[in-house]
Amino acid sequence: MKKTLFSLITLALAFTIAAFPQTPKAAKHKVVFELNAPSPSGWDQLFHNVENVQKAFAADGTQVEIVFFGKGLTMLLKTNSAYAERLKAAADSGVVIAACQNTMRAMKVTGDDIFPFATQVDSGVAELVRKQEAGFVYIKGGE
């Protein structure tokens, strides 16, 4: 009797736990970086800052986005092979790489001209506003 009751309780718990969706832990630290400076003004420093944030808050979880606009957009051009590997590594680590469509239009840059792992946002400045309103900490990249 005890074994049957124990088995029924165990089975009920298993179904109950399986019914709840398994969601990843939300990031405690949310950071948005801005880069609108030309090369090489702080481009290397930007990567160091992103990596430092990821390491410092690894246990708590981080959500990082870098918004590229103005002269900083050139960092995302496929012709910029010097930074391709580092940008791809950042994207692979979960960093959102965002290109400003306003700047793209002004520079006559299309989606085919930028790295495929980059996303596009309508406005770099508006994206920074949205992120700050959503609780992201803002950090200016470049010098």
Ordered domains of the chain (ranges, CATH): 24-140 (3.40.1260.10)
Give the number of other CB atoms < 10 A from CB of residue 83: 20
* E strand residue ranges, 1-136: 29-35, 62-68, 96-100, 119-121
| CA 30/CA 32 separation, integer angstroms | 7
pLDDT tens sequence across 13-60: 444 444 444 434 578 999 999 999 988 888 999 999 999 999 999 999
Mean pLDDT, residues 113-124 = 98
pLDDT of residue 73: 97
The mean-pLDDT minimum among 14-23, 36-45, 101-110, 119-128 falls in 14-23
pLDDT tens sequence across 58-96: 999 999 999 999 999 999 999 999 999 999 999 999 999
Q: CB-based contacts of 131: which residues, under 8 Å, 6+ apart?
A: 30, 32, 65, 67, 138
pTM for this entry? 0.81
Token pair in block for residue 21: 């969706």
pLDDT of residue 13: 45
Q: CB-based contacts of 12: which residues, under 8 Å, 6+ apart?
A: none
| CA 40/CA 110 separation, integer angstroms | 23
pLDDT of residue 1: 58
Q: Which residue has the higher pLDDT, 81 or 9?
A: 81
